[in-house]
Amino acid sequence: MKFLLLAVMLTACAAGPRDMSGKMFSFPQETNTARVKLIAPKQDFSTITVCHRSITDLKRDHILFSMAIPSNANGFLIFWDESNKEVETHIKDKKLEYHGLDYKPNTWHSICTTWDSTTGLVQLYFDGQPLIRKFSTSGSNIRGSTIILLGQEQDSHGGGFDIKQSFVGMMSDVHMWDYILSPCEIHNYMDDLNYTPGNVLNWRALEFQIIDRVLIENKMMTCP
C-alpha cells in the first residue's frame, strides 16, 4: 500500500506542466528552505525577458527571482535592497541599481526585466513604467545548467540561502522568454491583457517543484 502511494505521488510529480492561471505561490513563513524550483527547458541565453508579480510586507532585503548557472550564482537575479530602497538586477554577478520606485508594501507589483548580451543593456519596467536603460555585461551568453528559484536567493549553484534574503508573500504570473519583449507586449503584461506567454517559463504551463512550505492558492480576484 505504501509503495502504491509512493508510485502515485511520483506519477503526480512527473505529471508535467501545470496551468497556474489565476493561481499564486504563497510563501507564508520566513525560512531558509522554502522555495519553488522552476524547470526551464533551455540552458543558453543571449537575450532574456523575465516578468513576475509579487506582494509582500517585508521590511528587509528580499529576493524576487534567482537564476544561477555554475559559473555565476547571480546569473540573472532580481532583488530588493531595503537599506537603499532600490531594485537590483544582477546579470552574471554585475549589479545595477534602480531607485525612486514606489515599492509600497501590501501592494501587488509587476516587474519585467530584459537583457541583451549584444548591447549589454538591461531594461527594467516597474508597474508599467520603463526605467533608464543601463549597461550591465555584454559579449557572452548566460550558459550552463540553470537553476531558477523563487523564494530563496542563491549564493551557490542551487544553495547558499540566507533567511534574511528570503521572500515572504505571494508571487504570480512568472514568465520568462529567450528574447526581448517589445514595450507594447510588456505593457500588455503589466495590464494583464493578452500577451504571449513565456517560451522558457510559462505560468500557464509551468513545470516546477515545491520544496518545503510554499502553497498554491487562488489569486484573490474581485467578486463577481
Instruction: Give the interface with Ca ion as residue ranges (CB under 5 A).
Output: 73-74, 153, 155, 162, 165
- Is residue 55 a contact partner of residue 108, using CB atoms and an 8 Å limit? yes
**Closest distance to Ca ion from the beta carbon of 60 (Å):** 12
Identity of the residue, 127 or 155, whose beta carbon is nearer to Ca ion in the bound complex:
155
Complex with Ca ion: residue 49 or 72, whichever CB lies closer? 72
Distance (Å, whole) CA 123 – CA 170: 24
Cβ 135 vs Cβ 120: under 8 Å = yes
- Report, in Å, the least distance between residue 73 CB and Ca ion: 5
Closest to 53 in 3D by CA, of 183, 224, 220: 220
Report, in Å, the least distance between residue 34 CB and Ca ion: 15
Q: Which three three-digit cell numbers place residue 78?
A: 532580481
- Paired with 18 in beta bridges are 206
Nearer to Ca ion, 50 or 190 (CB): 50
Do the bridges between strand 134-135 and strand 86-91 make them parallel or antiparallel, or are there none, so unpaired? unpaired
d(CA 85, CA 146): 29
Q: How far is the CB of 117 from Ca ion (least distance, A)?
A: 20
Residue 20 grid coordinates: 497556474
Instruction: State which residue, 162 or 217, has the beta carbon closest to Ca ion.
Output: 162
CB of 61 to Ca ion, least distance (A): 9
Helix (H) / strand (E) containing 52: strand 47-55
Beta carbon nearer to Ca ion, 60 or 133: 60
Q: What is the number of the residue whose Cβ is closest to Ca ion? A: 155
- Give SS3 for 164: helix
Instruction: Work out how close the CB of 94 gets to Ca ion at its nearest, in angstroms, rounded to a whole number.
Output: 13
CB atoms within 10 A of CB 44: 11
- Asked if residues 78 and 50 have their Cβ atoms less than 8 Å apart, the reply is yes
**78 versus 170: smaller Cβ distance to Ca ion:** 78
